[in-house]
């Protein structure tokens, strides 16, 4: 039986960025022919949906240049070097929406776009909320909103929420 693995025969660093690096790999395919793969190397990220005792959830509205518009999202952020996903989730919750949580449920750990990126994102539901605050990153501007979970679900279904990591968390919130 033929293996499905690809073997890297050469690599070049195309770009070093603040958030990710871009590599171009020449690979040998399972059938022996060659191809080129452009791969984003990313340290990973987390997303957190805080669920309040009354069943409402906190989301953020923020402009995303890649889409050219403001999106509704769960709070999220990238892993620091050597940072564990749950530690990152706790930090992002305090930085972005000024909350801390007692109870954490990991809902997913998935690759965002495995065809071209190594980025893996861990999604968490956070309950048992209390006030907390860490300074925001200087380049982050957002509006914090709190809505009933059912409203957030409706927004997932009608296209108001377009962010996949957020949709997954909102839809899982009632099931977990």
Task: Please check whether residues 56 and 27 belong to one and the same domain.
Answer: no
pLDDT confidence band for 1 (50 / 70 / 90): very low
- 83 with 36, same domain: the answer is no
Q: Which positions ≥6 away from 83 have C-beta within 8 Å?
A: 91
CATH of the domain at 80: 3.90.79.10
User: By the 8 A CB rule, do 26 and 9 touch?
Assistant: yes
| Residue-averaged pLDDT of the chain | 94
Domain that holds residue 124: 45-173
In whole angstroms, give the CA distance from residue 71 to residue 95.
Answer: 18
What confidence score (pLDDT) does residue 112 get?
94
> Which tens digits make up the pLDDT trace of 98-156?
999 999 999 999 999 999 999 999 999 999 999 997 777 777 789 999 999 999 999 99
User: Is it the case that residue 85 has pLDDT exceeding 90?
Assistant: yes
pLDDT tens digits, 48-67 = 999 999 999 999 999 999 99
Query: Does the residue 73 lie in any domain?
Result: yes
Question: Annotated catalytic residue: which of 73, 138, 143, 150?
Answer: 138
Predicted local confidence at residue 22, as pLDDT: 96
Proportion of the chain above pLDDT 70, given as a percent: 98
Whether 6 is catalytic: no
Q: Burial, 144: exposed, middle or buried (Cβ in 10 Å; 0-12, 13-18, 19+)?
A: middle
Number of domains in the chain: 2
């Amino acid at each position: 039986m033929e293996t499905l693995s690809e073997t890297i025969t050469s690599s070049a660093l195309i770009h070093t960025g603040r958030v990710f690096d871009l590599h171009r790999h020449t690979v040998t395919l399972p059938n022996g022919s060659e191809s080129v793969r452009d791969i984003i190397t990313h340290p990973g990220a987390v997303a957190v949906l805080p669920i309040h005792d009354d069943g409402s959830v906190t989301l953020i509205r923020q402009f995303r240049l890649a889409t050219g518009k403001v999106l509704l999202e769960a709070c999220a952020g990238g892993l620091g070097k050597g940072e564990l996903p749950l530690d990152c989730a706790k930090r992002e919750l305090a930085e972005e929406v000024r909350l801390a949580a007692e109870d954490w449920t990991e809902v997913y750990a998935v690759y965002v776009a495995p065809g071209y990126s190594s980025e893996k994102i861990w999604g968490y539901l956070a309950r048992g909320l209390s006030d907390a605050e860490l300074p925001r990153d200087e380049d982050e501007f957002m509006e914090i909103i709190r809505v009933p979970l059912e409203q957030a679900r409706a927004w997932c279904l009608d296209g108001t929420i377009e962010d996949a990591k957020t949709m997954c968390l909102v839809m899982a919130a009632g099931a977990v």
